[in-house]
Structure 1
Amino acid sequence: MDKAEAYRQLAEEIASVVAGETSETARYATAACLLAQAFRPRFFWTGFYLVDPLKPQELVVGPYQGTLGCLRIPFGKGVCGHVAATREPIIVPEVHAFPGHIACDAASNSEIVVPVFHADGALAGVLDVDSTDYDAFDAVDQAGLTEICRLLLTA
């Protein structure tokens, strides 16, 4: 099965599992788990950083699969903070060359980050996927992850 089809099937599975679930935590935890399982070992770290309602210009670690993640990331700092500030997905083929990269785990060599929105369009957080491989992500990953994040919309 090609990667696009794998994402399509995974999106269907995630949509089915989270249908009717009102807890964002449960929705994000489910997505992180199923993504990590589906794309292991290429996905070294898979998870969400969520906008902190008490510090709305800061992301706080949410549900994830992998090694220890950074606890907090200010908007505009590192790859996740960049996506939180721009609200646009990014693929980073070599994270060590990204200006201001935050090394939560030195084993990470490439990264893709996709924004996650609430149904009203407000930023909910970001989906962060790291790989130990260089240049591990492409447009197919971006499209698949963006669609999965769209499925996680909640009021």
Structure 2
Amino acid sequence: MKRTGVYKEPGSSWIEIKESTYLFHAGDMSKCSQRNEILSLLRELEGRMKERGHVGVTTGLVFVDIEEEAKEEIVSLHSEKLALAFGLLNTPKGITIRIMKNLRMCRDCHEAFKLISDIVEREFIVRDVNRFHHFKNGSCTCGDFW
């Protein structure tokens, strides 16, 4: 692939808050001033999702030969999850969070967003490369077909 110049575009998501745009890349929080707060919130939400029976979906999402725990870590830092945590930390309760994404939303993130919308009682709209997803009260308008 390198020899022919073919590459996969890295996953990125962005969110606009108060007329400023914040860009997140999958797994990269090196330039984020709220890194610790975002990671802490994501861990808390993951715990609350597991209490509700959520089991992360990593099979088929991570194509490297590593331990399952490491795969879970990679998926937990997808760009839309980073943008969501940033939005939850920086917008008032009750405000709909809108996220744009350059790639298709993965199944694990889709399931997580449904649960998180119910846990935090917020609405999220995610525009991925295929469609709009409107998460509210634990469900999505796409009907889990994307």
Same fold (TM over 0.5): no
* Greater radius of gyration (CA): 2
TM-score by length of 2: 0.30
TM-score by length of 1: 0.29
